[in-house]
Structure 1
Amino acid sequence: MSGTVEEALLTRRSCRAFRADPVPRAQVERLLALAARSASNSNCQPWQVHVLTGAAKRALTEDLLRAHDEGARSAGEFAYQPGADQWPEPFRGRRRRFGDGLYREALGIAPGDTAGRTGHHRRNYDFFGAPVGLVLTVSRLPLQGALVDAGVFLQGLMLAARGAGLHTCAQASLLDYHPVLRRHLRVPGDHVIVCGVALGHADEDHRLNDHRTPREPVTSFASFYDDGR
């Protein structure tokens, strides 16, 4: 795929089912070089990316799944979002609708089917079958402004991937097991973990890849100021 930024934005989605087809290292490096063109405050570029494939990814996945199954969830080392039961409206409602769409509509998992939901959630820790798993970290020294820079970098990476015909899924779920990530990755001491990213070719035959999430209309979030006030 090679198209416009508009096409990349319109076709980008959080892909939760990938084919095992490998993505060449040279292509990953090219995507990261493109994402590094992203803006950052005073050009600080506070991000680092840890790329896992092959045996390294399998070893991390095994440890993440073990920690998940043993209930070894950790408190966030740098909490930048509320706990699951602490989201205010309208965000709580949007999260609920997202969960209903993903589990009940796309996967056919009933609200009370805890085992079914847990089974799907575990797939996060194998990066949904993607051949490439990335972990994005950012220096804490520029304070929370670095999270803005990390978000801009992440968006650049996801759009660059779409331009190359690939798909991604950003994964905050990995933060629950940040000690496991630190055991496997050379994360600098001043860095905090922002999220994981699954990268690869979408499995278009999987039912999950028919699922699309809605977006709020411009009128719900934009205010325009002009000569007429």
Structure 2
Amino acid sequence: MLLDRPVGAGTTRSTEAVVAARRSTRAFSDRAIDAAEVRALLRDAARAPSGGNMQPWQAYLLRRPAIERAADAIRATGVAPHRAVWDDYRYYPKRFFGSYDVRRKALGRALYGLLGIERRDTKRMRQQFERNFDFFGAPVGVLMTIDRRLERGSWIDLGMFVQTVVLLAEARGWGTCVQASFAPYHRALRPVLGMEEEEILVCGVAIGHPDHRDPVNALRTERDPTDMWLRQLD
């Protein structure tokens, strides 16, 4: 099983342990990761389920120089993240509601609380958010795209591919963060990546070794009890 490979001297982790350990890493150490190892991870992740074996994902692997060029292109737009226009697709609803909004706000309070950012300190909040565009200091970033002519089922397949990427990274002892924040800046990033017009920029994935000294990496989000979303029929 791919997830049961060694992750340290004399140790292995089960699939269940890898899934349970996965979390969003928002601070990375300066320890390098060989791009060839990431290419191998992406190759393994391509075994993810795919309806009709269409394999609708496209991936751009960025190392540090390319990450800096991408970040520069975003900054050059002069468009702050809270004013960015989601003109290719929307990740979030226009208006949050119900339990979805409750969980989102709880995450924000927990994240900014760890960083010592006060509720009304919008400047520091935006500075933290803008660290997305540097992949939080990770040595490697991957930007994921999909062909705009495909239907929603292919987006599900892309999601399963991304999930497989982050689980295989966790199995290797790496940290990851899946980032929708790049999507509104697709026009600025197209020439940097060489994207075709048919491609929609969906998300980024930061990959690297977590900086365990940074308090932001202590964040562990909660999940609702199973009975709140599972209905069993006998």
**TM-score calculated relative to the size of structure 2:** 0.90
Aligned-pair distance for 1:68? Answer: 5.1
After superposition, the C-alpha distances for 1:18-72 in whole angstroms (9 at most, x for unaligned) are 0122210221011101110000111100100001103111111122233356677
Aligned-pair distance for 1:121? Answer: 0.9
1:221 aligned residue: 229
Q: How does 1:37-48 map to 2 (within 5 A)?
A: 37-48=47-58
Structure 1: distance between partners of 2:139 and 2:194 = 20
Alignment of 1:97 with 2:106, yes or no, is yes
Structure 1: distance between partners of 2:189 and 2:31 = 24
Unpaired stretches in structure 2, ≥5 consecutive residues? 1-6
**Larger displacement relative to structure 2 (67-76 or 180-189):** 67-76
Structure 1: distance between partners of 2:86 and 2:167 = 31
2:96 aligned residue: 87
**Per the alignment, in what secondary structure is the counterpart of residue 77 of structure 1?**
coil
Aligned-pair distance for 1:80? Answer: 4.2
Aligned equivalent of 1:165, options 143, 154, 173: 173
Structure 1: distance between partners of 2:132 and 2:158 = 21
After superposition, the C-alpha distances for 1:71-113 in whole angstroms (9 at most, x for unaligned) are 7723331224313xx122111111111111111x211111100
Q: How does 1:149-164 map to 2 (within 5 A)?
A: 149-164=157-172
Unpaired stretches in structure 1, ≥5 consecutive residues? none
Equivalent residues of 1:139, 1:146 under 8 A apart? no
Structure 1 runs of 4+ aligned residues shifted over 6 Å read none
Structure 2: distance between partners of 1:94 and 1:175 = 22
2:46 aligned residue: 36
How much is the aligned-residue C-alpha RMSD, in angstroms? 1.5
Q: How many residues align?
A: 223
Structure 2: distance between partners of 1:148 and 1:67 = 31
**Per the alignment, in what secondary structure is the counterpart of residue 195 of structure 2?**
coil
Structure 2: distance between partners of 1:67 and 1:37 = 37
Equivalent residues of 1:19, 1:202 under 8 A apart? yes
Equivalent residues of 1:39, 1:152 under 8 A apart? yes
Identity %: 35
